[in-house]
Structure 1
Amino acid sequence: MTRLTLLIRRTPCERTGPAWAATRLIMPALTLGLVSLFALPALAHAQTIQGRVLDQENEQPVGGAIVTLLEPDGDERVRALADSVGRFLITPPESGEYYMVAERFGYFETRSPLIALGTEGTAALDLMLVPEPIGLEGLEVSVEERAEQELEQLGLTPRQLGNRWIGRERIEAIAVKLDMGAVLERTAQANIRIIRPENLTLGSDPLGLCVSLQQARTAGGMGTCALIVLDGVPISGVGAMDIDPNAIESIAILEPIEASTFYGTAGGSGAVLVWTRRGG
């Protein structure tokens, strides 16, 4: 804390009396207030954490990992989704001490030591994930079973999702599947609008497929694009156009409030999780 000292000099012509005494009391207080105002330090932002999530065994990037910033007491502050090459960016609300946690289906959760973040600048951090064996050795796990296991890791089940869970039987019942959007359109998803390059609107991805959930639409009715996660890895609208609809085994549709819980701001417009035979 900065200590301020005011020096009052008496002069030969200094006045006396009650009025002047009151002025002498007011002026130092006013001066102190002005000095304190200008002495306040400028607000500084905490260091931005820029890092990668890597496989500890081969040091390869792990895409689609969920990275969470925790207070020392375990309270969650910020959550982010690592991109397809394992990169993530987190801006803490303020400087201080935090833990970083990374989790991804097929890996054990990892937690960093307590790290101290200063103000301004960027802090680099790599998080290493250790592979976790899934299922019993020698037992083949189907894509749909794997999808259900991943949902469980998010705290959800197909039953909870209701018609927002599209399993293999419903997908195979569709005779003609032009793209992933057609699968969503033909499984009676009334709250979903598919925006393709030929019918672009404000908020859609001008280079690919956009899945717009009703809950994420603006007051003007315009759609914003949901996050698309293919076999655990987030992809762009361009990548969504390239998904082979005949290889899709399961789809889970998360509303914005659910997707934000798991994927942070990236899930603010909802999320569409897609599992394919290729990803199995």
Structure 2
Amino acid sequence: MVMKNIIMAIAGLTVLALANPAAARTDMTAPFPEEAAILERMEKESSPLLQAELAGVRARHAATCYERWQASGKSVDLQQAIFYAASAAELSPQWDRPRMLLGMIYSRFTGDKETLELAAELLIEAIDINPANGPAQLLLAQVLMNQGRFWSAIEQYQSLFVKSKAMITPMNTAPLALCYILDNRIRAGVLYFDRLAAEHPGHPAVAVGRAVLLKHSGEPGRAGEILANLASSAEAGPELRRYARALKGSWDREAGR
């Protein structure tokens, strides 16, 4: 309930700010020096260029407030982060960064269904504005997982991997494999990871997800073979090699070997 009240209060402030960027002021959002200088210029003569400049300084300030909230946990820092990010998004509607920041903030509240839905909507908007925004798409996949929308999350991970090979990491292939399992699409997951392995031969991150799905599909032999190869792979880092050995050992003990 606290989070919903904060969102509603900030929404009210944002509506006022739309009519007048210098309005909607409280002690919480007293102009900071860089912002005050732009507002003073806008009082004399507003322009799209000044609005874009104001959006930029408010977005940067929102990010600072968000970092401060993460460290302090104070509601005033959270309120400021939401207010300034929302204002930046309205001032510069074709800019993805403020929407991504709002999505990032709302995604932290994993226990609130409505807030997660808002996070997903904002992240989708950010990606629509800038399809190359990989971090926003990755965060969207995580939010969709938290919502239990596993197939939608699968689609986001797959799209990310097509856009950038750099996104194919154990941190991303592991949750993708989990999505296939939780959505009862294990066979589809095996087929997808088989294709991914053919496209990226020897890729350690692909091997991890592939092994997990094969194990859950009833093919422990193939899964164990992949892990054994990964445990001695020069392409895998030391942590991933240790993980592969530990996981294979756990599966072997489970099988009584």
Q: Which structure has more helix as a fraction of its residues?
A: 2
Q: Which structure has more strand as a fraction of its residues?
A: 1
TM-score, with normalisation over the residues of structure 2? Answer: 0.27
Which structure exhibits the higher relative contact order, with contacts defined as CA atoms closer than 8 Å and separated by 6 or more residues? Answer: 1
